[in-house]
Structure 1
Amino acid sequence: MRTCMTVRHGAERRTLMMTGAKLVLMRHGQSLGNEANLFTGWNDLDLSANGHEEARRAGRLMRHHGFLFDAAHSSMLKRTIHTLHHCLDELDQSWLPEYRSWRLNERHYGALQGLNKDDTIARYGREQVQQWRRSFDVTPPAVKPDSPHHPGNDPRYASIPRCDLPCAESLAMTMKRVLPYWQDMLLPALRQGQSLLVITHGTVMRALIGHLDGLSPEETQTLEIPTGTPLVYEIDKAGAVHRIGYLLPPT
């Protein structure tokens, strides 16, 4: 399928013709946790009213640029699932096979989950909170095994060995969890020529972009990921990855 699209590559606006398999990565629309400035993590909060519209708008944008996908992937949290369904409705591709995985879940923020970020700064100090949020290998305080925030106590993860489920994660730990899904599920399909839509979360986007773009840990941890904005890659049959850029609305 040939697709002509307008993208942002760095600060430059480009119109490009693509002929290979497409990978579109997208952070979910704004969530209620984003709106309330919370550490959300694996808490299953829905989209805000603005987030629902961001998701619909992203779907309309992809349809305008002629995207046709072979499969769709999301995390097991409703803010990505609902974003995906809005996109597929707008694309008129609701029939696509959908795959959901805990490996695409947001970073687990441990005992910080559900806390307001400003309140947490007031309690622990800005420097400490910034280390928990954006350092590559600093892990926030762990959630206790009997806590309702521990994924081992959530029935949706009952089939996953408890020892594999996180009680808190750094960005480095999130990357270690996410990359097997890239290697085992996404890359093989892309090398076969399938185009994929992946709706996930901000930290997972950092992990995937850092890997795909060959970024250093320092570069990866500083990435800013907008909500509801499709990021496009092209993958050839040899598995070579080419970053195209964020999809832009027509002018």
Structure 2
Amino acid sequence: MAACTSQHALISVKPRCASASFSSDRRAGNVRFVSTTSCCPSSRKLGLVCASNSQSSVIEPAKLPSSPESGSNPKKSSEAALILIRHGESLWNEKNLFTGCVDVPLTPKGVNEAIEAGKRICNIPVDVIYTSSLIRAQMTAMLAMMQHRRKKVPIIVHKESERAHQWSQVYSEETKKQSIPVITAWQLNERMYGELQGLNKQETADLFGKEQVHEWRRSYDIPPPNGESLEMCAERAVSYFKEQIIPQLVSGKHVMIAAHGNSLRSIIMHLDKLTSQEVISLELSTGIPMLYIFKEGKFIRRGSPAGPSEAGVYAYTKSLAKYRQKLDGMDQ
């Protein structure tokens, strides 16, 4: 699997063995569809080339897994957008502390990152938002949606108790139409760093040795003391994604997920079919949105939206272009 790089580099993974034939070249914005040949000579698939200033990379779209109960593929749906955003810089990011599941807010820089992320997705439809249960992800989601041109109000759905659910009900149908539900889930929380939480990363490396700390942080299946490995984090995050979020996309809903480096790496590992070795080299920048298109049972990575003033992502699909035209008409 090769990395898809855009004007704002978001992720980096080591490529798998693949070769590409450029005999078929259908341009769509800064994305090219090409016929690709994998290491197996008999296989030939349609992939994506995502252009950047320095290089182009081929991506094979990730198919949805078959339902184990039915034994058949999920039904095809209309095109839907999936936006992934890692939260903006937190106070403990700034202090270089292991944060994990400790609930700390954003720094002023993190607030600005969330606002800029919102500007980059302000022309992309959003019907439902998922965040972790941690405030830094929730702040990022709220601040980002405040920049959206549709001007819908994000409202957190409270289901922690029957009373909380009843007391937070909205009884105006018109108000509901102008709102976006925000669903919080602990399964999307950051990886739990156990006894490292709150410790300074450099001081921890000095105490335990750089190699040991690197193993705790970057290995796939080795957890820190009394903490989670990336594998353990992926198990809960991907399970939740399959059970709760994929059905929304199948129904045609446009979804935004504001979460954390490791929970989002886990989801991207699933979407892009990365190996355990590839995912440990995957880096996500704070406050940079990543866009996928879900269509006909497949996820296709489209890179990072460049911004509302540039053609960028909006030229990738007809439906996104039409949505932006609709927003332009509402502003007139």
State TM-score, norm by structure 2.
0.62
CA distance in structure 1 between the aligned counterparts of 2:152 and 2:220, rounded to whole angstroms: 37
In structure 1, distance between residues paired with 2:120 and 2:180: 18
Aligned to 2:180: 96
Structure with bigger RCO (C-alpha 8 Å, 6+ apart):
1
Task: Check the 8 A contact 1:6/1:247 in 2, yes or no.
Answer: no
TM superposition shift of 1:90: 1.1
For 2:291, the equivalent position in structure 1 comes to: 232
> Where in structure 2 are the equivalents of 1:14-163 lying within 5 Å?
20-63=79-122, 66-91=123-148, 92-94=151-153, 95-142=179-226
Alpha carbons 2:30, 2:51 under 8 Å: kept: no
- 2: CA distance between counterparts of 1:208 and 1:86? 23
Higher share in helix? 1
**1:211 match:** 270
Per the TM alignment, residue 11 of structure 1 is displaced from its structure 2 partner at its CA by 6.0
- Kept in 2, the 8 Å contact 1:137–1:172? The answer is yes
Any stretches of 5+ residues in structure 1 without a counterpart? Answer: 143-167
- In structure 2, runs of 5+ residues without a counterpart are 1-27, 32-48, 57-77, 154-178, 311-332
The AA in structure 2 aligned to 1:125 is G
Runs of 4+ in 1 over 6 A off after TM superposition: 4-7
**Structure 1 vs Structure 2 CA RMSD:** 1.9
Whole-angstrom CA distance in 1 between matches of 2:244 and 2:285: 25
Query: 1:62 Cα deviation (Å)?
Result: 1.1
> Aligned-pair distance for 1:180?
1.3
Per-residue deviation, residues 190-234 of structure 1 (Å, max 9, x unmatched)? 011110010000001110111100001000011010000000001
**Shift of residue 75 of structure 1?**
0.3
| Residues 190 and 239 in structure 1, CA contact (< 8 A), matched pair in contact too | no
Question: Within 1, Cα distance between the matches of 2:217 and 2:306?
Answer: 29
After superposition, the C-alpha distances for 1:70-89 in whole angstroms (9 at most, x for unaligned) are 10010000000111110111
State the 1:60 CA deviation. 1.4
Tell me the residue number matched to 2:256.
197
- Aligned-partner SS, 2:283: coil
Task: Give 1:79's aligned amino acid.
Answer: R
Q: In the superposition, relative to structure 1, how do residues 29 and 5 fare at CA in structure 2: closer, same or farther (>3 Å)?
A: farther
What percentage of residue pairs aligned between the two structures are identical? 38
Structure 2: which amino acid aligns with 1:117?
K
Alignment match of 1:243 (pick from 301, 308, 331): 301
Q: Distance in 2 between matches of 1:232 and 1:198?
A: 10
Residues 86 and 287, structure 2, Cα contact 8 Å, conserved in 1: yes
Distance 1:77 1:90, change over 3 A: same
Cα distance in 2, alignment partners of residues 12 and 136 from structure 1: 29
Distance 1:111 1:189, change over 3 A: same
Residue of 235, 242, 246 corresponding to 1:176: 235
Contact residue 73 and residue 198 of structure 1 kept, 8 A: yes
Check the 8 A contact 2:81/2:125 in 1, yes or no. Answer: no
Aligned position for 1:158:
none
SS in 1 for 2:241: helix
Q: Secondary structure at the match of 1:186?
A: helix
In 1, Cα distance between the equivalents of 2:207 and 2:50? 37
Q: Normalization by structure 1: what TM-score?
A: 0.81
Secondary structure of 1:97's counterpart equals strand
Aligned residue type for 2:240: Y
Specify the structure having the higher radius of gyration (Cα).
2
Aligned in 2, Cα 1:171/1:10: closer, same or farther, shift over 3 Å? farther
How big is the shift at 1:93? 2.5
Deviation (angstroms), 1:10 = 5.8
Which letter does structure 2 place at the counterpart of 1:12?
A: S
